[in-house]
Structure formats: structure tokens, C-alpha cells
């Protein structure tokens, strides 16, 4: 019977998963190659928004959670789960450097009875043709695809309703015995488990989920100038459409998508399709629409400020969504860079972010315009003097007297 889990990569996917497993009665060995990160965790300092310091210390103090920066301890685990980043290259092609590194590490230390699980989001065929092949180069004794299962993560940072304990999991592998082992593990954490026919089906399901979100967000962003031209409140329209109890899912416009999933995963899908000579024009168009939104916001800023290159602008909410410290792929980056090119002085405020290299943190400086980029706490908006205009790119602050709606102006 499986008792010990290994987690490779202790970021926003791996650390919450490891702690959920500990809390569900498993022995867990968490590995990360960054010794500073391991030292910080052992000191009780969580670097993940969804993991409090208190929860981390409770998990460590029980003795079932080992944190290591040396992979040798992973030779003891029954199930080893890869939770490493899968970014894109500068030209938007899949970058599997971290996945290959994890597979190479596994090949050197894991026992033949260990089942290997990939939670890292990637294109169909990654488990079979990248991870398995990378391991087979060194460890032929680990066998064929039996012992390999795809289980792409479904983490939504700072989602207070859904987490590792109640978000259904999708699994796919070629060996029913190994799939059952992994299924038993995830079910022990609490969620339902959907087993699909192959690793490729599981891998594709994750890409479809996030491509679906990108397409629909891009669609409502594309509607914004049309609704404005009609003199219609787009947010009102979307709220009205959402009253239909079937056949409609509400998405809201914004300054563009951000984070490590929605802007990234569609490129993995496009790359995979292109290698099969399959075109996905709707997805390509959605990506282009999303990329243009920050530029349209900058155009609106120029309309408001005129040609005053000395204007001071405050960005409210620079993380890709409210309540998290993650600024990866945030549309605020492109907007801040554009404002600087226009000659503006740029400041920022965000309840969850402590540092950002693109601009100075706001501390009461006189400003000419504020731009609300994510749904923020009222305390952030209250920092803006009543006579200063706020360009609302969220659709949430139309009731404020000094707000200009990006969507209806």
C-alpha cells in the first residue's frame, strides 16, 4: 500500500498539494532545487499566497512533511509528482526545460515500483514522449509507460471556494493498475476523480480549459468598443445575459489576461496543433485580441491626458488578479512600460504586492490619473483624491463619481 508521496517543485502548485497530502495522512517529501526556498519554508515563511505561515508550520511540525533540496530522499517514495513550471520561450514556443530536468532527476534516484505523475501543464504527448523517454535514457529498468500518469493541475490561486480538496481531478495513463494507485491518492485528498482513456486526453483537457477561458475573455474584450459605440453599458449587457439559466457562461472584460496559465497554455495548444498541420484560427485570433487590449487602454489614457508628457499616473492593482502577489504575465507590465514611453511618471498600489521593479510604490504623491486594472479593495481606491479621474478597466466602479469607464466611454 502506498504511503509516501514525493513532490518535485514547491511553488504555487507543489506546496499546496504537498500540504493537502500531509493533512490527509500521507508522508510527503517535498523537493525543490532552490536551497534558499527550502530554508525559508523550514523557517515557517511561506512564499505562496494560498499557504499561510501557520498552515506551513503545522504541516512541518507533525513530522510527516520533509523539505529537502537534495533529491536522494525521493528514492523512498511510492508516488512522485512533478509540479514544475512550464513557461514559453520569448517567441511563445513551449519551454520544457524544467520538466526535462525533473525527469532526469527522477531517472537517477527513483525505485522501479514508483509511479510517476506529471501535474505540470503541457501539450499532449509530454508524459509519453518527453518524461518517459528522458527517464528511459538512464533507467530502462523503470519499464514502459506503465507507471506514468498525467494529472494536470487545476490550481486557481486565492480561490476561496475551490482548492486541492474539492476540485475534481482528471487522470490518464496506459496502465490501469498505476492509474488506480494515483486515483486512490487523489481521492484520499477529497476531490472526485475523472479517469480518461490516455495521458494525451488528460493533458489536452487542461489546455482546452484555459484556451476556452482565453477565447471567451477575448470575445467580451472585443465587444467593449462596439458596446461603447452603441452607447450601451457592456457590463449591464453581460449581467443581463447571465440571467439565462442555460447555454451561457459569464465572462467579464478587463485589461487583458495574466498569470502563468491563460496567457501561456494556449501557446502549448497551438504548438502541438501546428506540428500536426492543424490550424486553430479562433484561438490565434483570441490571442491577438488579448495582446491589443493594453494598447487600447494606453490610447484611452492619451485621450484623457492629452499630450501632457509630464503627467503622473497611478496603477491600482498590478497583479493579474486581486488578492495575490503574482505579477507574472500581468497586463500591468505592458501598460506601465507604455506609460513610461509616453513620458509619464508611474506609481502603483496593490494590497498583496510588496515589490515591483517597473515603477515606484505609491505613497501619496500628487497624481493626474489613476487606472484601476483589477478589482481592488475600497482602501486602494480611497487613496485617490476625489478630484482625480479613475479610468476603470474592471467594470466594477461605475458608481463612483470620478470614474471613467474604459468600456463605455
DSSP 253-267: --S---SSSTTTHHH
Quick check: is 262 in a domain?
no
Whether 181 is covered by a domain: the verdict is: yes
Averaged pLDDT for residues 204-209:
98
Most confidently predicted of 136-150, 276-290, 386-400: 276-290
C-alpha span between 74 and 72 (Å, rounded)? 5
Average pLDDT of the residues in 190-219: 97
Between β-strands 148-150 and 169-173, what pairing exists: parallel, antiparallel or unpaired?
antiparallel
Q: Following CA atoms 186, 192, 196, 200 in sequence, which dihedral angle do they give, to the nearest 10 degrees? A: -60
Residue 377 has pLDDT above 80, yes or no: no
% of the chain surpassing 90 pLDDT:
69
Boundary-marking domain end, from 147, 181, 196: 196
**Highest-confidence segment of 212-216, 320-324, 366-370:** 212-216
What residues make up the domain containing 372?
A: 293-405
Q: How far apart are CA 120 and CA 102, in angstroms?
A: 11
Q: Which residue has the higher pLDDT, 15 or 355?
A: 15
Residue 11 in this model has a pLDDT that exceeds 60: yes
Question: Is pLDDT above 50 for 64?
Answer: yes
Q: What is the mean pLDDT of the chain?
A: 91
In a domain, 207, yes or no: no
Among 177-181, 275-279, 314-318, 380-384, name the one with the lowest average pLDDT: 380-384
Measured from the Cβ of residue 78, the count of other Cβ atoms closer than 10 Å reads 18
Q: Residue 147 to residues 142, 315, 366, 378: CA-CA distances in angstroms?
A: 8, 49, 61, 51
Q: Do 297 and 192 belong to one domain?
A: no
| 219 pLDDT above the threshold of 80 | yes
Q: How far is CA 81 from CA 40, 119, 176, 353, 382, in A?
A: 22, 7, 18, 29, 45
What percent of the chain lies above the pLDDT cut of 70?
97
pLDDT at site 309? 64
Q: How many CA atoms lie within 13 A of 357 on its CB side?
A: 1
* pLDDT surpassing 80 at residue 408: no
What's the CATH number where 365 sits?
Answer: 3.40.50.720
Give the integer Cα–Cα distance in Å for 295 and 300. Answer: 9
Of 279, 301, 251, 333, nearest to 406 by C-alpha is 301
Catalytic position from the list 114, 261, 344, 393: 261
Q: What is the pLDDT of residue 376?
A: 65
The predicted-structure confidence for 315-337, as pLDDT tens digits, reads as follows: 999 998 888 888 888 999 999 99
* pLDDT tens figures, 151-164: 999 988 888 899 88
214 within some domain = no
Residue 145 pLDDT = 47
What is the number of domains present in the chain?
2
Query: What H or E segment, with its residue span, contains residue 195?
Result: strand 193-196
- Taking phi over 0 as left and psi of -120 to 50 as alpha, with beta for the rest, 13 belongs to alpha
Q: Taking 60 as the threshold, does the pLDDT of residue 144 lie above it? A: no
- Averaged pLDDT, 284-302: 93
Residue 53 burial (CB count, 10 A):
12
Residue 347 confidence (pLDDT) above 80: yes
The C-alpha atoms of residue 377 and residue 323 are separated, in whole angstroms, by 9
Does 369 fall in a domain? yes
Q: Which three cell numbers stand for residue 357?
A: 521593479
pLDDT (mean) for 64-77 = 94
CA–CA separation, 36 and 56 (whole Å): 16
Does residue 27 sit in the same domain as residue 155? yes
Please report the pLDDT score of residue 52 as a whole number: 95
Indicate the residue among 146, 179, 196 that finishes a domain.
196
Does 395 have pLDDT greater than 80?
no
Residues 259-278: what's their mean pLDDT?
Answer: 95
Nearest C-alpha neighbor of 196 from the set 167, 170, 169, 166: 170
Express each pLDDT in 251-261 by its tens digit.
988 998 888 89
The answer to whether residue 32 is domain-embedded is yes
Instruction: Point out the domain boundary residue: 196, 215, 236.
Output: 196
The Cα–Cα gap between 140 and 134 comes to 10
Count CA atoms closer than 13 A to 120's CA, side-chain side: 31
| pLDDT of 298 higher than 80 | yes
Catalytic residue list contains 261: yes
Other CB atoms closer than 10 Å to residue 351's CB: what's the count?
15
Amino acid at each position: 500500500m502506498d504511503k509516501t508521496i514525493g513532490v518535485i517543485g514547491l511553488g504555487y502548485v507543489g506546496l499546496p498539494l504537498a500540504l493537502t497530502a500531509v493533512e490527509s495522512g500521507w508522508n510527503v517529501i517535498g523537493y525543490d532545487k532552490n536551497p534558499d526556498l527550502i530554508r525559508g519554508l523550514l523557517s515557517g515563511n511561506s512564499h505562496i499566497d494560498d499557504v499561510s505561515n501557520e498552515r506551513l508550520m503545522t504541516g512541518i511540525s507533525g513530522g510527516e512533511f520533509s523539505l529537502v533540496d537534495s533529491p536522494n530522499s525521493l528514492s523512498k517514495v511510492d508516488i512522485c509528482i512533478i509540479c514544475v513550471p512550464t513557461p514559453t520561450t520569448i517567441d511563445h514556443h513551449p519551454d520544457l526545460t524544467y520538466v526535462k530536468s525533473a525527469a532526469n532527476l527522477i531517472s537517477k534516484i527513483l525505485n522501479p515500483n514508483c509511479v510517476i505523475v506529471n501535474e505540470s501543464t503541457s501539450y499532449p504527448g509530454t508524459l509519453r514522449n518527453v518524461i518517459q523517454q528522458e527517464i528511459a535514457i538512464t533507467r530502462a529498468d523503470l519499464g514502459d509507460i506503465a507507471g506514468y500518469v498525467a494529472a494536470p493541475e487545476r490550481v486557481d490561486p486565492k480561490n476561496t471556494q475551490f482548492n486541492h480538496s474539492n476540485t475534481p481531478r482528471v487522470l490518464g495513463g496506459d496502465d490501469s493498475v498505476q492509474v488506480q494507485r494515483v486515483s486512490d491518492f487523489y481521492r484520499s485528498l477529497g476531490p472526485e476523480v475523472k479517469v480518461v482513456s490516455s495521458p494525451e486526453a488528460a493533458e489536452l483537457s487542461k489546455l482546452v480549459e484555459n484556451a476556452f477561458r482565453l477565447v471567451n475573455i477575448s470575445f467580451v474584450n472585443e465587444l467593449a468598443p462596439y458596446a461603447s459605440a452603441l452607447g450601451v453599458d457592456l457590463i449591464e449587457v453581460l449581467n443581463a445575459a447571465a440571467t439565462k439559466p442555460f447555454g451561457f457562461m459569464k465572462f467579464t472584460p478587463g485589461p487583458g489576461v495574466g498569470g502563468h496559465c491563460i496567457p501561456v497554455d494556449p501557446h502549448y495548444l497551438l504548438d502541438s496543433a501546428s506540428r500536426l498541420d492543424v490550424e486553430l484560427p479562433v484561438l490565434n485570433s483570441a490571442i491577438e485580441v488579448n495582446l491589443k487590449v493594453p494598447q487600447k487602454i494606453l490610447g484611452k489614457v492619451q485621450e484623457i491626458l492629452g499630450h501632457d508628457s509630464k503627467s503622473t499616473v497611478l496603477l491600482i492593482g498590478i497583479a493579474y488578479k486581486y488578492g495575490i502577489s503574482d505579477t507574472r504575465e500581468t497586463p500591468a507590465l505592458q501598460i506601465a512600460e507604455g506609460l513610461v514611453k509616453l513620458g509619464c511618471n508611474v506609481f502603483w498600489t496593490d494590497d498583496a504586492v510588496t515589490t515591483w521593479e517597473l515603477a515606484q510604490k505609491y505613497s501619496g504623491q500628487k497624481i493626474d490619473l489613476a487606472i484601476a486594472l483589477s478589482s481592488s479593495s475600497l482602501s486602494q481606491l480611497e487613496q485617490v483624491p476625489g478630484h482625480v479621474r479613475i479610468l476603470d478597466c474592471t467594470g466594477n466602479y461605475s458608481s463612483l463619481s470620478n470614474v471613467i469607464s474604459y468600456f463605455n466611454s
